[in-house]
Chains A and B, each alone.
Chain A
């Protein structure tokens, strides 16, 4: 199979050709897109479907801590929780990954061991991305060397908004190369757009194609440090992009909304959008993730409500 860079070599040959391509994508009508997302948000997911959705959502969580105050202790606790989200219920699945800063990767990795829970690291001068490229690449290599399974990079929004698409493209390609592991494998690359700064859905669609063409394995809405973070319509537009990209190339790319998804109800809305816009193929942790921290306990509480038939309270779930 040819690499993607080859498939789109005509497009990415020059700033002009890349610009033509991105601006030639169909526009997104804001009102129509938001209405569609809102309609999907009215889906009523009950009983068996709800139980299925809650477990799936738990399995899709990238349990995240990205604080200046993070410590090894905090990360160890988070990693424990990731493996056993509900210590009282062994049927509760584990989450997809823990997401930390690069200097915490080793600690997370050590705690998680062979659990199958991945370690994701935010790199490339997260969250602003305002650093020289070699600094960003060094940041990435650090995290990969420390054992990160996944790298969450940020795009240079300044370059994107000023129309320097090729620069953004080349940076993603470079970071993806920096994801290479000594064993010949590669950390999975998630490309964060910070959609709250891109402002328009047209930009989100263009950024999506840019990142997919550059070889990103996932496209991700937000750092969680800028408002608005993930929204249902933004995620829908990104899901449309990965769906169309697969139609065009045969390659699947994952989607990760991050930040602002706090309730089970919200999470289920996202799953509905995944189901009805991209399709069931994306309804696996391999292709869809939630970047979240408090969401997990909400999912657990709802899960307990379904199994016990009564509402639970926060004291019955661990705070880590």
Chain B
């Protein structure tokens, strides 16, 4: 028997129609931008996918004006039940066009089509469906029923459409209008979402999308007529935004970085723990703010867990994101790849043992093999800094209290994992962890009903669930 080689199983690109260039979506229409257009590339091939307009300050002004007008004249006055129907419509169109959205997301971002298809897009639709239902029930939210106004939303490149959904769905449900800036390397699904808004006959100006880089985002966040700022991205930019809004009456929510501990006790369900470790750090190429990037494994099982983990990592299929059998896709950009390489090199210099899964990487595009570092201590930079790539730092511990201490010994506090078959230990450890989301015997699970957000420097506020409404209602402080 020869090795069971899976033949290529590429998802068809025919379903998407990428235009050669895109404008901004303001006031319900696509309009030209006044900045310098930029190119978005397929990170798996470096092929230029499209040229996208850059919004300058005047474009941002126009978008905020359109949002303000739509808020004051239409959206905030519309009965919640009517707003709900628009959101349900959007949810349905997302489901109808799910294949197209998944392929486009994979093309622009580099993530495996399996994840775009089975994780991103279904949760996007679910998010709109969930918040649609809140629109006419806000009096039971606990945060009042009054929208804040115009929301300026800036989202990252790791889950372009999903982050859009997390931002736009609750904002609209509560009667706010939005100006959203997608990341400069992944604007395409947001622009397709603009078309979906048109198909849904969403009133003009309720959703506006301005593409661009940091300057566009800064102009949006600082705009005096923006009442609410929502940002997902790096802690560094999050702090800059917090400074920008200081002294104003802008409300702000931030979803920032992380360096999550994934704690494996010696009585863990080991096979599932290994899956959880793999999911925790290699899901979406490790471009996940809540990634389980620090494996804390009890010394008594460290060797066994490591052996199982390496064996499992060797089965990860790295390559063409559009291949339905790909597990790990492309790094999103050359810049991010350089950052991952730099921190990995530092890990080696600092004496940690580097091991990468044996896999062939494509010649073109941005690639990094699934990698782990052993012999890592809390003092290593790779144990402290967010790498935001498929790189796992492995540390060990001896006792539950040492595990908790090490897990919490970081300025971040977004998520954590606990693996043990002992129920009372789960509950105790979970209560001790300074993290907004604790996954016990699972990892990287997301749901529209479940609040998500960090302690400490991982952010402020929560997205998802009832708590996610607080950010978009006057009177909602949590």
Q: A residues within 8 Å of B by Cβ? A: 26-29, 31-33, 35-36, 42-50, 52-53, 56, 240, 271, 275-276, 280, 283-284
Q: What are the nearest 4 A-B pairs in CB distance?
A: A32-B272, A44-B9, A44-B324, A49-B7
For chain B, residues 1 to 25, give those with C-beta under 8 angstroms from any C-beta of chain A: 1-9
Other than the known A26-B270, A45-B9, what 5 A-B pairs have Cβ atoms closer than 8 Å? Answer: A31-B442, A48-B7, A49-B5, A56-B4, A280-B4
Identify 6 residue pairs between A and B in the complex whose beta-carbon atoms are under 8 Å apart, listed by A's number.
A26-B269, A27-B421, A31-B442, A35-B275, A36-B275, A48-B5
Closest to A205 in B: B271
A307, B272: Cα distance in complex, Å = 40
CB distance from A205 to the nearest CB of B (A): 9
B384 within 8 A of A: no
Q: Is the CB of B4 within 8 A of A29?
A: no
> A36: which B residues are within 8 A, CB to CB?
271-272, 275
Most buried by A among B6, B271, B276, B442: B271
- Residue interface bits B245-286, CB-to-A below 8 A is 1, else 0: 000000000000000000000011111100110000000000
By a CB distance below 8 angstroms, the chain B residues around A240 are: 271
- The docked-state distance in angstroms from the alpha carbon of A29 to that of B276 is 11
| B 400-442 to A, binary, CB cutoff 8 A, 1 in contact else 0 | 0000000000000000000001000000000000000000011
Q: Is the interface of A mostly helix, strand, loop or mixed?
A: helix
Q: Are A280 and B269 in contact (CB under 8 A)?
A: no
B118 within 8 Å of A (CB atoms)? yes
Residue of B nearest to A31 (CB): B442
- When C-beta atoms are compared, the residue in chain B nearest to A243 turns out to be B311
Closest CB of chain A to B266's CB: distance in Å?
9
Closest chain B residue to A276, Cβ basis: B315
Residue of B118, B268, B325, B441 ringed by the most chain A CB atoms within 10 A = B325
Partner among A26, A27, A46 whose Cβ is within 8 Å of the Cβ of B7: A46
Interface hub of A29, A43, A45, A284 (most chain B Cβ within 10 A): A29
Asked whether, in the complex, the Cβ of A43 is within 8 Å of the Cβ of B1, the reply is no
CB pair A32 B315 closer than 8 Å? no
What A residues does B270 contact at CB under 8 A?
A: 26
A283 pairs with B1, CB closer than 8 A: yes
Number of B residues whose C-beta is below 8 Å from A? 25
Judging by beta carbons under 8 Å apart, are A29 and B272 in contact? yes
Residues of A within 8 A of B6 (CB): 43-45, 49
The reply to whether B276 and A32 form a contact with Cβ atoms under 8 Å apart is yes
B114 within 8 A of A: yes
| Of A47, A48, A284, the contact of B1 (CB 8 Å cutoff) | A284
A56 CB contacts on chain B under 8 angstroms = 1, 4
CB distance from B402 to the nearest CB of A (A): 22
Which B residues lie within 8 Å of A31 (CB)? 441-442
Query: In the complex the two chains form, is B272's CB within 8 Å of A33's CB?
Result: yes
How distant is B239 from chain A, measured CB to nearest CB, in Å? 36
Closest chain-A Cβ to B267's Cβ sits at a distance in Å of 8
**Bound CA span A37–B49, Å:** 35
Enumerate chain A residues within 8 angstroms of B1, measured Cβ to Cβ: 56, 280, 283-284
Determine the distance from Cα of A88 to Cα of B279 in the docked complex, in whole angstroms.
47
**Given A49-B5, A276-B315: A28 and B269 interface contact (C-beta under 8 Å):** yes
Cα A36 to Cα B271 in complex, Å, equals: 10
Q: Mark B438-461, 1 if CB is under 8 A from A, else 0.
A: 000110000000000000000000
Task: Give CA–CA (A276, B4) in the complex, Å.
Answer: 10
Closest partner residue, chain B, to A48 (CB atom): B7
- Residue numbers in A under 8 Å from B2 (CB-CB): 52
A44 → chain B closest CB, angstroms: 4
Q: A28 — which chain B residues lie within 8 A by C-beta?
A: 269, 271-272
Q: Which residue of B lies closest to A45 (CB)?
A: B6
**A45 vs B4: C-alpha distance when bound (angstroms):** 10
The interface residues of chain A lying within 8 Å CB-to-CB of B442 are: 29, 31-32
A44 touches B269 (CB 8 A): no
User: CB distance A43 to B271 under 8 Å?
Assistant: no
Determine which of A29, A44, A46, A48 lies in contact with B441 in the assembled complex, contact meaning CB atoms within 8 Å.
Answer: A29
Q: Are B7 and A29 in contact (CB under 8 A)?
A: no
Contacts of B271 in A (CB 8 A): 26, 28, 32-33, 36, 240
- Cβ of B325 and Cβ of A32 under 8 Å apart? no
Determine the chain A residues whose CB is within 8 A of the CB of B325 once the complex forms: 43-44
Could you say which residues of chain B place their CB within 8 Å of the CB of A48?
5, 7
